[in-house]
Structure 1
Amino acid sequence: MSVFSKRVVAYIADFFVVSAIMWIFSYVLSLFMDPFELFEVYSYFPFVVPIIIMVYFTLLEKIKGATVGKALMYLEVRDIRDYRITWGQAFARNLTKIYWIPIIFDWAIGKILKKDDRILDSITRTTVIEIPKYY
């Protein structure tokens, strides 16, 4: 399986993880809300989802080098000089993931410009590498 295919699978897995976090967050929030206005919690999602997505991707990629999905696919985010990425790189490379759809344009622009990666990976000087599987 190619690195691109693994990244797609990892991204889908991360979507499920973030969705689970949102369900937990909405449940906890609903405990503090009026039972007659329970569906009002969903009106906050357009503001809360981007924050949770950015925190999830930025924290895990900076601290662990990979999100849950990337770790499952044995992938890791690195600086192009093979160092751990900085906080700025981790934040900037995930900006197109805020609402899930802009990542497609990020990838497409990268392909149009003949880059091997997403355009934000080129700008932030980061790359996703395969790490060896240890049994």
Structure 2
Amino acid sequence: MTTTHSAPEASGPPPDGDLETRSAAMHDDPRFRELRGRLLRFVVPASVAFLAWYLLYVLLSAYAGGFMSTKVVGSANVALFFGLLQFVTTFGIAVLYSRYTNRHFDPLADELREELESGPTVPGARKGEDS
């Protein structure tokens, strides 16, 4: 995948090291590790829960045909409602993931991306502080 970015105007010396070097160094940053941990704390449990829910649906469809063919409303049976709930669950997880990342993931990711793109900063200085 190729992306194009407009070249920044020359406002001073180029940052120390190129983007690849800074990117490699970022992987050792404790904030980056925290970011990965935050992502995994949502993705792994949500994936396991959804796969278990889906497996339940498949197993019930395969081995509990009598239960799954039970009529609930009109000609709609349990299997139809389980199938529709798979869609609801998928969209629900997507909404929860979006909310989770907006609160717990994006602020730190934006900070790290800004630091990575702007080059090295003065040690100990934070955004918004006077140096």
Calculate the TM-score normalised by the size of structure 1: 0.35
Calculate the TM-score normalised by the size of structure 2: 0.36
